[in-house]
Structures are given as structure tokens and as C-alpha cells.
Amino acid sequence: MLQTIPLEFYLILSAIMFMLGVIGVIVRRNAIVIFMSIEMMLNAVNLTLVSFSQFMGDSAGQIFVFFVMAVAAAEAAVGLAIVLALFRKKQTVYVDEVNVLKW
């Protein structure tokens, strides 16, 4: 029986979470749910960084995660402001109804 968790388990878990995020971005039409899937992908990468950092004893990975969180917060503020501006212009948050660039 396992006594400790090897690094591979964390990597596979992180890969599964990243895959869920990608599927969410491809499949969903609601811009807010797509945004949440992107957050899930960011978190999956964070888990990879933290696990590598803690298994190899180098704290650089954790500092990266710290910066990723700051970037995610900035992204949340601006991204949701874009969703709001989109809603105000087109009265929809479904990304396939926003096709002004298509001709």
C-alpha cells in the first residue's frame, strides 16, 4: 500500500483538471462558464507548479503560483468587464451569437 503520494499522481490529477477546463472552453457557449473553465485551467497549472516545487525543494514554483494568482485576479476583473460590455452591446453572453467579425 502507498505510504506517500508520488509526484506522478499530482501530475495526472492536474492533467485531468486541465482537460476538464479545455473541454469546458470548447463545449460551452456561455461566456461566463468559459471564463470559469479558464480559471480551472489556471488552477491545474498551479497544482503542477506547487507539486514540482515541493517535491524538488525549490520555492520558485510557489512564487510563480503567487504571481499566477495575481494575474488571475486582474484577468477576472478585466475579463468580466468585457463580458459586461459585450452584454450591453449585444444583449447576450453566448459566444456563438457574437459574430460581428464573421462575414
Q: Please, which of residues 68-97 interact with another protein by CB under 8 A?
A: 69-78, 80-85, 87, 93-94
Distance from C-alpha of 26 to C-alpha of 100, rounded to nearest angstrom: 20
Label residue 16 exposed, middle or buried (CB < 10 Å: 0-12, 13-18, 19+).
exposed
Q: Which three cell numbers stand for residue 21?
A: 477546463
- Residue 6 binding another protein, by CB under 8 A: yes
Q: How far is the CB of 103 from another protein (least distance, A)?
A: 23
63 HSE (CA, 13 A, CB side): 4
Total number of residues binding another protein (CB under 8 A)?
Answer: 71
Touching another protein, residues 19-78 (CB under 8 A) = 19-24, 26-30, 32-33, 35-37, 39-40, 43, 46-47, 50-51, 53-60, 62-63, 65-67, 69-78
Q: How far is the CB of 33 from another protein (least distance, A)?
A: 5
Q: Which three cell numbers stand for residue 61?
A: 514554483
Q: Which is nearer to another protein, 78 or 101 (by Cβ)?
A: 78
